[in-house]
Amino acid sequence: MHKHPRALGLAIAPVKAGSVLDIALGQPVQPVTIVRPHAARRAARFFVEKFKGRSLYAVKANPSPELIAVLWESGITHFDVASIAEVRLVSRAAPGATLCFMHPVKAEEAIREAYFVHGVRTFSLDTIEELEKIMRATDDATDLTLCVRLRVSSEHSKLSLASKFGAAPDETKALLFAARQAADALGICFHVGSQAMSPQAYVQALARVRAAIVEAAVTVDVIDVGGGFPSVYPGMEPIGLENYFRAIEDAFEALPISYSAELWAEPGRALCAEYASLLVRVERRRGDQLYINDGAYGALFDAAHVGWRFPVALVREQGSDAKDMEFSFYGPTCDDIDHMAGPFLLPADIGPGDYIEIGMLGAYGCAMRTAFNGFTAGETVVLEDEPMTSLYVDSATEPAFPANVVKL
């Protein structure tokens, strides 16, 4: 039975305000993290109900124990963990969940603890050496699901994951054959890259899977299409996720695998992006540059280092009649690289003391935060309004942009 987070002893911030504006009127000095558990529940139910396979939450996207518990109680029973710390975290936050250790390069000690202490039975690998390590660490266990990771293209994605991991075509046959001999269940997995903007990314990758199965002539029990499922950002408005699901399911059904083979996916961003946003204060304005109290070393790592654009809205009681103009942001630290180029569209009369909500930071936002220069997060507040953008509000239409604050 899925337990409520409070039953697990997890602290959930109280609902301290009815809206983002209410929070801003309190004039917080530090950035405020706003979480919307109902948005994560909605995303989880979408995957559970509409994806005809198993959805594993990729914990690295947001390792919040509260979020993990919300996803668990919403039907996400399997979790993609990438470190022994994540294994321990999910074991505490979602007792009874199935953990899959999907990092292809693991410490032998981590494998041993995961297997013998936490009951992990699924491991990924992309080399013979990693296979040998897994077998040593588990004392040649006979109950393993071993997923061989293939290298595939990231051409359809905004962030590539094509160079670090994955067996090359000339390595795949021997590796699949060896893993088949050792595994109770053999899987093939891949990752098309983060924020895949076309279902074709998965279709192409599954063509690579087909070729690998035919060449190795092995029986495959699991096909794991990994992550990459997109969310909505300015200039990145993907088609509905049902289109991705249909393309994946059609390609999966055409593979030379048994009727009992399982289809898996590892959504991260798509499950948690809408879960959180950030309320920041403008400390200074210099032309079209706004100095705010969070930045590259905080929740805005992606905005600074990979040029990611997030939805923004002025949060001000009296509103504004000014037209929008393009701004860039500087964060609070002393470093020049604490800079978010944007552009971010905000009213031209914005200035010191104003507040800005920055949306879609549930994925890779708070997870990347540091305490560099002594700047840390402020309080966390739970709200029940809609996130700034949503791919789930009406999945039969184009991506929705509900307004939880009035952007004038």
**Span 167-186, pLDDT tens digits:** 999 999 999 999 999 999 99
- Enter the pTM of the model: 0.90
What angle, rounded to 10 degrees, do the helices at 241-253 and 200-216 form? Answer: 20
Mean pLDDT of 127-151: 98
| pLDDT score at 166 | 87
Rounded Cα distance, 96 and 1, in Å? 9
Confidence check: pLDDT of 402 > 90: no
Mean pLDDT of 395-405: 41
Q: How confident is the model at residue 37 (pLDDT cuts 50, 70, 90)?
A: very high
CATH superfamily name and code, 37-272: Alanine racemase (3.20.20.10)
**Span 229-273, pLDDT tens digits:** 999 999 999 999 999 999 999 999 999 998 899 999 999 999 999
Q: How confident is the model at residue 398 (pLDDT cuts 50, 70, 90)?
A: very low
Q: How confident is the model at residue 17 (pLDDT cuts 50, 70, 90)?
A: low
Neighbours of 63 (CB within 10 A): 19
Q: Where are the domains of the chain?
A: 37-272
